[in-house]
Chains A and B, each alone.
Chain A
């Protein structure tokens, strides 16, 4: 079994066709194998339902841990509050940090959960728990939120990838540590690193277009002959893999942020986060089911205020444009936007002016389809050290996401005979946030 890292090696910022083919072939084969033990995978009826729903997701992951006190739950005037003021927003009575002035004017589109507690997930797995909606297990590799969205939301008969992840090259990915989920690689992301074009998607320059087509015709002919004599799932998977790769190759321009409209590039600006947000919009427009934008280096154990100030400036700019664009294009009502981290940051400020990891009382933001814009759920105490009301755990967030996306949150997957509920036991949707 090849390691997960072979799907894309961030260190070379490229997608090697041979590796990609091989991994997809293996992954699809694995997925086909899993079909025997998984229920509810992409039946025709279900695909039709997906098409009718037309819902997509963008997950913006602020890796390292954005400070809730410098973003969505400011505590000005308290010793834990830091130097930044709170500013009013487009929602009467709702204040956010002054570091987010543009987003403040768009809070009527977003809902804030100020009482997230993922401390039960375990100290080493806070981030993983936010991706999985539950505590990870050694025996079963659970699929991530993005993989579930890819499976449940992906449009049928589209050349666009189901699931794209835009990551920085220095990003930590828990998936690399944990390996493939029980979905296999079928719903794993197409990884694009560093805001750069996946150069290895291109046809090799020494292979003419005609030669390329001839090769594909020969491969297709041989495959058909093979399938006629041996009706094996693996043979079918092989052909589907090639078809998928052709699809992805045909989308190479779609995956290239430089091909975006020049005015859009100018408007979003040059930061990696902004370019990834622009590309996310473009991918969602093209029918990609889920895009995860994985930002990095919010981990401000020292010099927190300077670090968060700079990161927030980028976030404020990029996310505001993304929200506006989705709304202007009529995509907002069809797209769930989730902004989360692996945890928040400590209310206590260390001697090195840092804030450390804080999973006990922090904030997640969402908006778009199925979400009541301007809603606020939960509350922390005056210093932000405890949840005062409305404790929310990752399973509750998953239930809320799925309800917003019209995914059956009571459904189960099966691994062998073991049912794996989409939402971990006890998870309840936050009704106050849902339309």
Chain B
């Protein structure tokens, strides 16, 4: 029996640990597992109903960090993107690699078109690249974001998202700029800007001009509302100019997709670091997570649920981890946050469910993965 998703009643119901930090995760409906990857380049899969059981390990494939994972239900496959500049398609049931594609640059995020036919990848070469999700063949690429930031650093495109109806495809860069294009033609239809997600420190704390080099920022996450009317960008704002780390507050800015008008822009007052990841619930609530800023070993993140109609009243839960990915499980089975544990170089997954669905006691686990596949 499952309860309706209620952010006020969210509770952590299980925690799983992994031997190394995790960067990306997706729920695969074929295997009904949470597939995650990270520092050691290997994908591992947990059954979200049995966190205490060891995860299933896929075959080794990536030679660097896994930065993005997505399920391809139409192909009954999973795809991962690694800092080794490769996309790898997997059979999620056997954990075997099926094919791979070379990338010209290191990927940051990937998104799958709602019809399952196209895979979109953004990379540190500031390019959006589209691939045939079934064959891995490249189909198009777009480089609409500027090469340099205002402080003349090389920029990066960090975020990519499709609208649920597949009509729009949005990308976000280091300077806080967002490009919305028609997914079918690639035509740019709107350029948005979330200035709070780029800190160039053009003024010192005492108000004096500062043309030093320091800058920080980037749109690190994009998500469209279920009806596609809203596109939400996440990042970090209210930077501390004296910081050498990610010492700012997680933030969200929402835009009207049709007009480009800013609908809201909020900061999560207590929570530092980049807002890295978000997914809209079918109800229209935005489930977002991130954090782990402040430098050093702090690594404290947050899970946030925000109603875009009342953006100034988000519900937040502090997490003892740096969050890189959040995903909603089907059938109101709650949210899973994935990242690194606060104190150790370990991966951590936390399962959050509404209280009614979480009657069982916490099932913390720290199991090693089982054999390949």
Contacts and interface: CB of A to CB of B under 8 A. Distances in A.
Q: Among the interface residues B151, B213, B293, which one has the most CB atoms of the partner chain A within 10 A? A: B213
Interface stretch (B10-18, B96-104, B337-345): B337-345
B201 interface: yes
A83 B83 contact: yes
Contact of A351 (B40, B154, B208, B343): B343
Contact of A170 (B210, B246, B298, B342): B210
In this complex, which of A11, A271, A295, A352 has the most chain B Cβ atoms within 10 angstroms of its Cβ? A352
Contacts of A349: 21, 345
A89 interface: no
Given A85-B63, A310-B153, A351 B342 contact: yes
Contacts of B299: 350-352
Interface in A239-297: 270-273, 295-297
Given A83-B64, A351-B292, A302 B152 contact: no
Contact of A171 (B64, B209, B212): B212
B227 interface: no
A302 B154 contact: no
A73 interface: no
Nearest to A351: B299
A301 B296 contact: yes
A351 B297 contact: yes
A418 to B, nearest CB: 38
A373 B85 CA distance: 31
Nearest to B322: A351
B84 A85 contact: yes
Contact of A11 (B83, B208, B343): B208
A309 interface: yes
Nearest to A312: B154
Given A272-B213, A356-B296, A300 B64 contact: no
B64 A84 contact: yes
A271 B211 CA distance: 13
Interface in A306-364: 306, 309-310, 313-314, 348-354, 356
A302 B321 contact: no
A349 B343 CA distance: 11
B272 to A, nearest CB: 9
A169 B39 contact: no
Identify which of A77, A306, A351 gathers the most chain B CB atoms within 10 Å of its CB.
A351
B294 interface: yes
A270 B148 contact: yes
Contacts of A296: 212-214
Contacts of A84: 64, 83
Interface residues on B, range: 35 or more
A271 B153 contact: yes
A76 B40 CA distance: 11
Contacts of A79: 20, 39-40, 345
B319 to A, nearest CB: 11
Contacts of B214: 170, 296-297
B216 to A, nearest CB: 8
A354 B322 contact: no
A76 B344 CA distance: 20
A348 B344 CA distance: 10
A312 to B, nearest CB: 10
A425 interface: no
B295 A354 contact: yes
A350 B246 contact: no
Contacts of B83: 83-84
A350 B296 contact: yes
A145 B67 CA distance: 43
A302 B148 contact: no
B245 interface: yes
**Would you call the interface of chain B mostly helix, strand, loop, or mixed?**
loop
A403 interface: no
Contacts of A300: 244-245
B280 interface: no
B302 to A, nearest CB: 13
Nearest to B64: A83
B343 A352 contact: no
A314 B154 contact: yes
A169 B148 contact: no
A303 interface: yes
A302 B294 contact: yes
A168 interface: yes
Nearest to A272: B213
A84 to B, nearest CB: 7
B245 A169 contact: no
Contacts of B124: 309
B245 A352 contact: yes
A13 interface: yes
A314 B149 CA distance: 12
Interface string A61-91: 0001000000000001101001111000000
A354 B245 contact: yes
B154 A352 contact: no
B292 A353 contact: yes
A303 B244 contact: no
B80 to A, nearest CB: 14
Contacts of A273: 213
A162 B156 CA distance: 40
Contacts of B247: 302
B273 interface: yes
Given A303-B246, A309-B124, A310-B153, A170 B212 contact: yes
A194 interface: yes
A313 B154 contact: yes
A299 interface: yes
Contacts of A85: 63-64, 84
A170 B244 CA distance: 12
A419 B293 CA distance: 48
Given A351-B292, A352-B245, A194 B345 contact: no
Q: Which of B208, B212, B344 has its CB near the most chain A CB atoms (within 10 A)?
A: B212
A85 to B, nearest CB: 6
Interface string B297-335: 111000000000000000000000110000000000000
A79 B39 CA distance: 7
Contact of B152 (A271, A306, A356): A271
A352 B291 CA distance: 8
B242 to A, nearest CB: 10
A386 to B, nearest CB: 18
Given A271-B152, A354-B245, A194 B293 contact: no
Contacts of A272: 151-152, 213
A23 to B, nearest CB: 22
A194 B211 CA distance: 7
A83 B106 CA distance: 10
Report, nearest first, the 9 A-B pairs whose CB atoms are least far apart.
A351-B299, A170-B212, A301-B295, A302-B245, A299-B244, A83-B65, A83-B83, A301-B245, A302-B246
Interface of A: 11, 13, 64, 76-77, 79, 82-85, 168-171, 194, 196, 270-273, 295-297, 299-303, 306, 309-310, 313-314, 348-354, 356
8 contacts: A85-B84, A168-B212, A302-B293, A348-B345, A349-B21, A351-B299, A352-B246, A352-B299
Given A194-B212, A352-B299, A352-B322, 6 more contacts: A83-B83, A194-B211, A301-B296, A313-B153, A314-B154, A351-B297
